[in-house]
Amino acid sequence: MNEQQRMLTDTIERLFPDLAAHERGHGARPDFGAGWERVRELALCDLLLPEGAGGFGGSWQDARILMHAAGEHALALPVAETMLARQLLQDAGIAVPDAAITLASCSAVQAQGSGLRVELRNVPWGTGEACVLTAFAHEGGEYLALYDSSAARHCRRRDAVGAEPRADLELDESALVASCRRENARDTLLLRGALLRATQAGGALAGALALTIAHVNDRVQFGRALAKFQVVQHQLALLAEETAAVSCAAGAACLSLDTAGDTELAIACAKLRANRAVHQATSIAHQMHGAIGFTREHALHHFTQRLWAWRSEFGNDRYWAGRLGREVARAGAQALWPRITG
């Protein structure tokens, strides 16, 4: 870890626990505006922007620290999403707004008069708190588009995931902030979104692991702490194993972006590994907590609900397993080992 990364980590560790502490009280959410102002003052979301554009010129390894921490602290603010969105907008030559931005895959796009109508489903912070960056294909081209969710033609609120408000959105030209035609816009957004969710999942698993360790050490049964029982220790080891595997895979994917490595393969592996870890890891965490872990008063659901949602966002298990298999088959057997070992 270099000096800039140590400074970033120190800043995050001072800020994120304070913000996350507010959301864990009986399911309450922190004040979005007040929390976002604190994040904005530190310019954390400009981490990946070049210095010439007012950013820090950070690396993807720097970004990994922020994305992992956002998951580990169950942060109820789209800090990591905004960081990635601003980088995508900067690369596309679109003016970067000083606002919170979330990411979403486009479910449908239709012509409407001289403009377009797009539909987005299950959008985090799509209830007016943030702008939404999406990508879609239309008339032979691909487009990157930024919308104001507060100006949605139709907004159907869904159940919150952890402390993330979610909604299905129908957006037209009146909500469009900016857009541009961009080659491979959809796949670029998909890959960045998959990297984000895989890295956040590693953090969320670490948060769930910490809660589980604390619980089994505090909880006493038959005159001994639960942590003293071998079967419990075995389950903790499995949970720690899944957590480490996801974090390592996400870290390798971020490194591949910094070194111009085999990025597509690395991100596919990271997202698939994260997806596969979710079921076993969350099952262990809830089993170790018992009934208390299912209550809204306990912090565990802030991690596990997000993990269940993130598993299907920006590509589910079937999608990434298929894409990874097709890529390996296309390259041929002789290319596999060199690609794995770098």
Task: Say how far apart CA 36 and CA 85 lie, in whole Å.
Answer: 16
Both tokens assigned to 222: 């038959």
Residue 98 to residues 46, 57, 86, 101, Cα–Cα distance (Å): 10, 17, 9, 9
User: In this structure, are strands 131-138 and 101-103 parallel, antiparallel, or unpaired?
Assistant: parallel
Mean pLDDT score, 15-28: 66
* pLDDT at residue 22, rounded to an integer: 44
- My answer on whether 51 and 63 are in the same domain is yes
Domain span including residue 194: 186-341
- My answer on whether 120 and 66 are in the same domain is no
Among the candidates 183, 216, 233, a domain finishes at 183
- My answer on whether 191 and 328 are in the same domain is yes
- My answer on whether 55 and 170 are in the same domain is no
- My answer on whether 198 and 105 are in the same domain is no
- My answer on whether 84 and 167 are in the same domain is no
Among the candidates 183, 200, 230, a domain finishes at 183
pTM: 0.94
- My answer on whether 284 and 207 are in the same domain is yes
C-beta of residue 194 within 8 angstroms of C-beta of residue 271: yes
pLDDT at 125 over 50: yes
Provide the CATH number for the domain around residue 240. 1.20.140.10
Between helices 3-23 and 32-41, what is the axis angle to 10°?
170
C-beta of residue 202 within 8 angstroms of C-beta of residue 250: yes
SS3 track for the chain: CCHHHHHHHHHHHHHHHHHHHHHCCCCCCCCHHHHHHHHHHCCHHHCCCCHHHCCCCCCHHHHHHHHHHHHHCCCCCCHHHHHHHHHHHHHHCCCCCCCCEEECCEEEEEEECCEEEEEEEEEECCCCCCEEEEEEEECCEEEEEEEEHHHCCEEEEEEEECCEEEEEEEECHHHEEEEEECCCHHHHHHHHHHHHHHHHHHHHHHHHHHHHHHHHHHCEECCEEHHHCHHHHHHHHHHHHHHHHHHHHHHHHHHHHHCCCCHHHHHHHHHHHHHHHHHHHHHHHHHHHHHHHHCCCCCHHHHHHHHHHHHHCCCCHHHHHHHHHHHHHHHCHHHHHHHHHC
User: What is the tens place of the pLDDT at every residue in 148-188?
Assistant: 999 999 999 998 887 788 999 999 999 999 999 999 999 99
What's the total number of domains in the chain?
Answer: 3
- My answer on whether 196 and 177 are in the same domain is no
- pLDDT band at residue 190 using 50, 70 and 90 as cut-offs: very high
* pLDDT at residue 124, rounded to an integer: 93
- My answer on whether 116 and 212 are in the same domain is no
Among the candidates 33, 66, 92, a domain finishes at 92
- My answer on whether 156 and 9 are in the same domain is no
- My answer on whether 318 and 202 are in the same domain is yes
Mean pLDDT score, 92-119: 92
User: What is the tens place of the pLDDT at every residue in 238-292?
Assistant: 999 999 999 999 999 999 999 988 899 999 999 999 999 999 999 999 999 999 9
- My answer on whether 201 and 331 are in the same domain is yes
pLDDT at 46 over 90: yes
**Strand ranges of the sheet holding 164-171, from the earlier edge strand across to the other edge:** 106-112, 115-124, 164-171, 154-161
Provide the CATH number for the domain around residue 178. 2.40.110
User: In this structure, are strands 176-181 and 101-103 parallel, antiparallel, or unpaired?
Assistant: unpaired
* pLDDT at residue 121, rounded to an integer: 95
Nearest to 152 by CA among 128, 122, 177: 128
